[in-house]
Amino acid sequence: MQVNSSSHTNIELSNDEIIRYSRHLIMPEITLSGQKKLKVAKVLCIGTGGLGSPVALYLAAAGIGNIGLVDYDVVEENNLQRQIIHGTSTIGSLKVDSAKKRINDINPYVNVTIHNNLFTSENALELTEPYDLIIDGTDNFPTRYLVNDVCVLQNKPNVYGSIFRFEGQVSVFWSKHGPCYRCLFPEPPPPGLVPSCAEGGVLGILPGTIGTIQATEAIKLIAGIGEPLIGKLLLYDALTMSIDTVRLKKNTNCVICGTNPTIFEPIDYEEFCGMPLNDHDNEQSAGDKWDISVQELKKQLDAGKQLRIIDVREQFEWDIVHLPEAELIPMGEIPGRLSEFNNTDEHIMMCRTGGRSAQMLQILASAGISKVKNLKGGIRAWATEIDPNLPIY
């Protein structure tokens, strides 16, 4: 099973390239012919973060001749724990520029095209059209559904990967030969149910493992060798060092790759998933009626107003940084401790960026607690706008 790409029969490798790829050329599964296939291949990497870093590095080193990079972000210091394509010297640079520089250093024979864009319904078809194969290195559900749908519509393989804390998943979704992402996940999870890596954390080494597997699948598909992860979902657990494979079936009722599809073009994925089409640490809100800004909270505290500030993060997050005026009640304990809340106190709910506290505010409001506000932006906004001496995580 092999992706469609430009003809490699008239492509030659220079003497320098033969030296560079010599360990490939002596493998009977690849040989000179397979290396030429890699050279003419066009691969689009969506995201140059945790997963995109090892994917792009190893594809470049392997000799993929044309690599496209899609990202809209800049390099930040907290990226460097896992996003190994970037470095301290490129903090503040566009990620696509940083990644291209590193790729060109690894392999000057690779043609790198950068797309400094957010991958959206408006530009997805145009961005993916020139490429043979798409690699999903994103960290949010709207973009995953968008990548899937575009690949189905253009009949291209989607090399999928996802990571969270110590666990990762990899599959190849290619509707021509097997199920697509929607066959596995017809509906996205409710907003807020599955935290992002920014909220839940990720072992820095994990994206290296998962991204390298994605790169391996891409090489296999391009060279037409081995058995790709089509119709299979690889599950990796770093804590137990275990790998399981689950068989997947095509859903004949799938809305995009089934027998009677209802999706024929990209849709509004933010509306479909109920969350933004990015994975930034944005300030999160409970709505104007329920929000309080960090500036207003500071003003009320300075005036001596009696407030009950409830931090709903976990103990290990509290240990990193917290407000001295706050008390810790982890969000998992809130439903069982509603008796501790009353309408006499004025409550301010807070967390890291405002999302979890907004969910807990809804629980309190549903229980009849009316004097409650959500700290918009959470402890990050406080550290950024009120007290820059506090650490940001």
Q: What is the pLDDT of residue 282?
A: 59
Give the span between the Cα atoms of 58 and 379, in whole angstroms.
38
* pLDDT at residue 279, rounded to an integer: 57
Q: Is 198 helix (H, G, I), strand (E, B) or coil?
A: helix
**Can you give the pLDDT at residue 4?**
77
Confirm whether 197 is a catalytic residue.
yes
pLDDT, residue 73, reads 95
Q: CA-CA distance, 293 to 70, in Å (whole number)?
A: 34
Query: From the CA atom positions of the chain, what is the Rg in Å?
Result: 24
Task: Residue count of the chain, please give it.
Answer: 393
Non-local (6+) Cβ contacts of 160 within 8 A are 136, 144, 147, 148, 169, 170, 171, 172, 173, 181, 214
Q: At what angle do helices 378-385 and 294-302 cross, to 10 degrees?
A: 70
Catalytic residue among 151, 180, 197, 257: 197
Stretches where the chain sits below pLDDT 70 are 192, 279-283
Q: In what order do the strands lie in the sheet with 347-350?
A: 291-292, 372-375, 347-350, 308-311, 326-328
11-28: buried (b, 16+ CB within 10 Å) or exposed (e) per residue?
eebeeebeebbeebbeee
- Which segments of the chain does DSSP mark as H helices, in order? 15-20, 22-25, 31-40, 52-62, 95-106, 124-128, 141-154, 181-184, 197-200, 206-223, 269-273, 294-302, 315-318, 355-366, 378-385
Provide the CB-side half-sphere exposure for 320 (13 A, CA). 13
- The verdict on whether 45 is a catalytic residue reads no
Instruction: Say what the pLDDT of residue 283 is.
Output: 64
Q: Which amino acid is at 257?
A: C
